[in-house]
């Protein structure tokens, strides 16, 4: 018999998790004002809220923690990270930040001003938030195929080159840069092909624009290029990574994802001038340029994580586990974005609960039902997250209304994935009994999903 696929790691340390009852969960979710961000972690059995900062570090990363240099300026940990960024990603200049959105804040303080337009492929919510906070506008140029969850396109994260050129033709002088998010989180953890990255580069060169990569899950993107884009199948993940970033001028990184650390981020740059301009804001918002919000030990673990996170088997273990969850859900009839994403399975809430009106926060309703069913916490990527239009203050209804089940790296077993699939399968079996959704009681003026208070209709 052919030997089955199995993970290339074993577990050295475990953490107890509490399995609650349905009655407890009904009470807790009510107390949390039907906002899953308000739950205490002990009230959650399998936590798929995010894959950000929730991964398990390796023994080698933990060893690196012990070697951290906590000097304020010029720490050896800074140089260790600088070398890893140069060798693995190819950037000469970098600034450490405490996480990804801090990198956006520092970079956009230099590059974005009022009235600007930033085209890209489904900007992540903090990216969009930092653009809109500066009274600029984000325009989504993702290919249309991304918005049909039944269509099996291998690179649903791609930028639509015609849409991008249209924005540049109409607003050329207002565009400070083009941003490409790899992988495209909002569209379902979907990859961008290397060919598409090269096409974006060519358009940027034609119009004299900078290209920025939002790189939180760049290694997962490289894995999909290797396994789906035939021309690059023979290259290693590290070689593909270099090829991808060769088409960018700047990168922002949330290290909490593909670099498998619990906290951290950075900006990678080629231009010394940009580095100097950004340094001013880094010092003001984050810390001196050789630590920027990170401890020395965290910079060490991050340098090690960048190396491990760009190894084929590490990515294969991770992406295969997400696919395992996806296949189980499909078996139970649950409608999901296909192909499966790199970091998460995205459940299509409109297809799951087609009888609920879009004004009733359909994906949030589904997230609450899944929590009540099995103590599983996912996250809404739908109307709550899309927020209100800054001008009209009306709800923006996104093309996709999704419940994201993000899988932390090396944290849960496939047994947990089976459990999650059965819980959601049970909700699917009783979907017709869910006859109404949610209404908002209280919300913040921006990024409301974190703190919103809701009630049943
Ligand atoms: N860009 C992308 C594509 C992201 O997914 C995130 C975070 C960020 C930027 C911001 O990074 O959290 O370190 O400040 N995504 C998390 C998630 C929160 O759950 O998808 P951060």
Q: Is 254 in the pocket of ligand 1 (CB under 6 A)?
A: yes
DSSP 3-state of 185? coil
In a domain, 7, yes or no: no
Cβ of residue 50 lying under 6 Å from some atom of ligand 1: yes
pLDDT at residue 446, rounded to an integer: 83
126 CB under 6 A from ligand 1?
yes
Question: Within a domain: residue 243?
Answer: yes
Does any domain span residue 364? Answer: yes
Report the domain count for the chain. Answer: 2
Tens digits of per-residue pLDDT, 336-350? 999 999 999 999 999
Q: Which residue in 257, 328, 350, 416 is the catalytic one? A: 257
Domain-ending residue, one of 309, 324, 347? 309
Question: Given its phi and psi angles, is residue 350 left (phi above 0), alpha (psi -120 to 50 degrees) or beta?
Answer: alpha
Answer with the one of 293, 309, 325 that is the final residue of a domain.
309
CA 5 – ligand 1 centroid, Å: 30
Q: Which residues of the chain have pLDDT under 50?
A: none
Q: How many A from CA of 125 to the centre of ligand 1?
A: 8
438: domain range? 22-51+312-456
**Cβ distance 453 to 35 under 8 Å?**
yes
- Indicate whether 168 and 221 sit together in one domain: yes
Atom of ligand 1 nearest to the CA of 99: 13
Q: What is the pLDDT of residue 390?
A: 82
Domain check: are 176 and 205 in the same one? yes
Question: 262 with 98: CB under 8 angstroms?
Answer: no
Is 279 found in the same domain as 355?
Answer: no
Look at residues 281, 288, 278, 223 and name the one whose alpha carbon lies nearest to residue 251: 278
> pLDDT by residue (tens digit) across 419-438?
999 999 999 999 999 999 99
> 261 C-alpha to center of ligand 1: Å?
13
Considering the domain architecture, whether residues 399 and 320 belong to the same structural domain is answered as yes
Q: What is the 8-class DSSP label of residue 57?
A: P
Question: What is the DSSP pairing of strand 93-97 with strand 265-269?
Answer: antiparallel
CATH number of 266's domain:
3.40.640.10
Assess whether the C-beta atom of 290 lies below 6 angstroms from ligand 1: no
Residues 68 and 216 in one domain: yes
Domain for residue 5, yes or no?
A: no
Domain of 35, CATH number, reads 3.90.1150.10
Contact 398, 411 (CB under 8 A): no
Chain centroid, CA 365 distance in Å:
22
End position of a domain, from candidates 274, 309, 344:
309
- Co-location of 205 and 234 in the same domain: yes
pLDDT at position 108, please?
98
123 catalytic, yes or no?
Answer: no
Residues 222 and 341 placed together within one structural domain of the fold: no
Question: What is the model's pLDDT at position 336?
Answer: 97
């Amino acid at each position: 018999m052919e030997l089955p696929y199995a993970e290339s790691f074993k577990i050295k340390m475990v953490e107890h998790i509490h399995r609650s009852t349905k009655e407890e969960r009904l009470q807790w979710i009510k107390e949390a004002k039907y906002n899953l961000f308000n739950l205490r972690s002990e009230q959650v059995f399998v936590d798929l809220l995010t894959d950000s900062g929730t991964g398990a570090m390796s023994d080698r990363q933990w060893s690196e923690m012990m070697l951290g240099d906590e000097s304020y300026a010029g720490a050896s940990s800074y140089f260790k990270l600088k070398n890893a960024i140069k060798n693995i990603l190819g950037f000469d200049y970098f600034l450490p930040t405490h996480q990804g959105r801090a990198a956006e804040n520092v970079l956009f303080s230099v590059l974005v001003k009022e009235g600007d337009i930033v085209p890209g492929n489904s900007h992540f919510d903090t990216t969009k938030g930092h653009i809109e906070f500066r009274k600029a506008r984000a325009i989504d140029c993702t290919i249309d195929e991304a918005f049909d969850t039944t269509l099996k396109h291998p690179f649903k994260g791609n930028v639509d080159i015609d849409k991008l050129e249209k924005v540049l033709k109409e607003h050329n002088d207002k565009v400070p840069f083009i941003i490409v998010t790899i992988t495209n989180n909002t569209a379902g953890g979907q990859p961008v092909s290397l060919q598409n990255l090269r096409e974006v580069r060519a358009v940027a060169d034609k119009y004299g624009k900078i290209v920025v990569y939002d790189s939180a899950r760049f290694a997962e993107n490289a894995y999909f290029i290797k396994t789906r884009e035939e021309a690059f199948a023979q290259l290693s993940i590290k070689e593909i990574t270099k090829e991808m970033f060769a088409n960018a001028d700047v990168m922002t990184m949330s290290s909490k994802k593909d670099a498998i650390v619990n906290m951290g981020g950075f900006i990678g740059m080629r231009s010394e001038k940009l580095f100097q301009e950004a340094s001013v804001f880094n010092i003001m918002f984050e810390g001196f340029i050789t630590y920027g919000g990170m401890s020395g030990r965290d910079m060490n673990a991050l340098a090690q994580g960048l190396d491990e996170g760009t190894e084929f088997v590490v990515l294969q273990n991770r992406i295969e586990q997400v696919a395992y969850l996806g296949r189980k859900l499909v078996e139970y009839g649950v409608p999901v974005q296909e192909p499966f994403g790199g970091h998460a399975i995205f459940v299509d809430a409109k297809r799951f609960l087609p009888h609920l009106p879009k004004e009733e926060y359909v994906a949030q309703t589904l997230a609450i039902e899944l929590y009540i069913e099995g103590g599983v916490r996912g996250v809404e990527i739908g109307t709550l997250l899309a927020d209100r239009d800054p001008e009209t203050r009306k709800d923006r209804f996104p093309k996709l209304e999704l419940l994201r089940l993000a899988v932390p790296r090396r944290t849960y077993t496939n047994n947990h994935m089976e459990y999650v699939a059965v819980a959601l399968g049970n909700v699917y079996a009783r979907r017709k009994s869910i006859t109404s959704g949610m209404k908002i009681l209280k919300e913040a003026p921006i990024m409301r999903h974190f703190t919103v208070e809701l009630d049943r209709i």
